[in-house]
Copies of this chain bind each other. A is one copy, B any other.
Amino acid sequence: MIKVGIVGATGYTGVELLRLLATHPDVGIEVVTSRSESGKSVADLFPNLRGHLDIQYSKPDPVILSTCDAVFFATPNGTAMNIVPELLQSGVRVIDLAADFRLRDKSEWEKWYGMTHACPELLEEAVYGLSEVNRDAIKAARLVANPGCYPTAVQLGFMPLIKNDVIDLSNLIADTKSGVSGAGRKAVVDTLFCETQENFKAYGVDGHRHLPEIRQELTVVSGKAINLTFVPHLTPMIRGMHATLYAPLVKDNVNLQSMFEAYYKNAMFVDVMPEGAHPETRSVSGANVCRLAVHRPQNSNNVVVLSVIDNLMKGAAGQAVQNFNIMFGLDEAAGLVYVPVLP
């Protein structure tokens, strides 16, 4: 059994991680930390775990965490970076589900996250945990930066087009829609039921933290400058993320369907839907899958890609466990065989 610690497991990505790890065949959960809930039973806070996980929250203690083989951080941005260096020195392998290690450029990170980075020297080493692109690097990584939810849905949708060099990178549009769980389990008015139910809105049109992350990774992959207009929206559902991607085609006689199928033929957790399909977010709910469909409406020059994930799964906890499996040489699907719950 691989000894695992989870730091900060009181939010939605945390409880989702616990759901997955509690029944993972190769994992022993050693420690679950929370400053605020220390001493409380985890299953008291999250009764869905009753009967599946019998452990109490403890205060985060680097000494104890250092006895783990792997530590997941499901903390707010800016927390992991204060403990990670010590853990790495102790030989612990780390997966950070927050944003601390997602951007390689220190000043870019500090601009978007509004704080000083505590260990900028690790930004270069950290491996961006999108396994469909970086599997080999993840295998060897000490520190994995688990991608954001929007970046996952958007990159997986654009990737085959970019890799095959068939679109104009100077006018990419990502119109994205997220369920409310993406905003986390924080006591704020904005995500109260009565503020979000029966309501749809865009937000962060003038700048969202996931924009530089997407731009960075697409630039790495394409080797070219990218122009991306990224507009996130909030939709009244708990889970689910839908990215609608637009890009001008620059090549003729392209079979987009085959291109997508070929690109993802070995990707266990990416499902290219049949031609003409409209993937639904519920078809991935509770599961670590990205479903994609590619369209060329009215035979115009605009490619439209539809990409859906469960933001807490392939967009967070599921992808983290997938990365963990890869890092530790396990079956990539270990602990991740979930049929989405429908309806």
Contact = CB atoms under 8 A, between A and B. Distances in A.
Interface of A: 12, 15, 19, 22-23, 46-52, 171, 173, 175, 177, 179-181, 185-189, 191-203, 205-207, 211, 227, 229-231, 233, 235-240, 242, 244, 246, 248, 271, 273, 276, 278-287, 289, 291, 295, 297-298, 300, 302, 304, 306, 308, 337, 339-343
B203 A271 contact: no
21 contacts: A19-B341, A47-B279, A171-B248, A175-B175, A175-B246, A177-B200, A181-B343, A185-B189, A186-B189, A187-B187, A187-B192, A192-B192, A197-B197, A198-B198, A198-B285, A199-B281, A200-B242, A201-B308, A202-B306, A203-B278, A229-B246
Given A185-B192, A229-B302, 17 more contacts: A12-B194, A15-B343, A22-B339, A47-B273, A48-B287, A52-B339, A173-B173, A173-B302, A186-B189, A198-B238, A198-B240, A199-B281, A205-B306, A206-B295, A231-B297, A233-B242, A238-B343
A281 B200 contact: yes
Nearest to A192: B191
A192 B194 contact: no
A175 B236 CA distance: 17
Contacts of A193: 180, 191-193, 195-197, 236, 238
**Identical subunits present:** 4
A168 to B, nearest CB: 10
A35 to B, nearest CB: 16
Contacts of A177: 177, 200, 233, 235
Contact of A207 (B191, B195, B273, B298): B298
A237 B278 contact: no
A230 B188 CA distance: 30
A240 B200 CA distance: 7
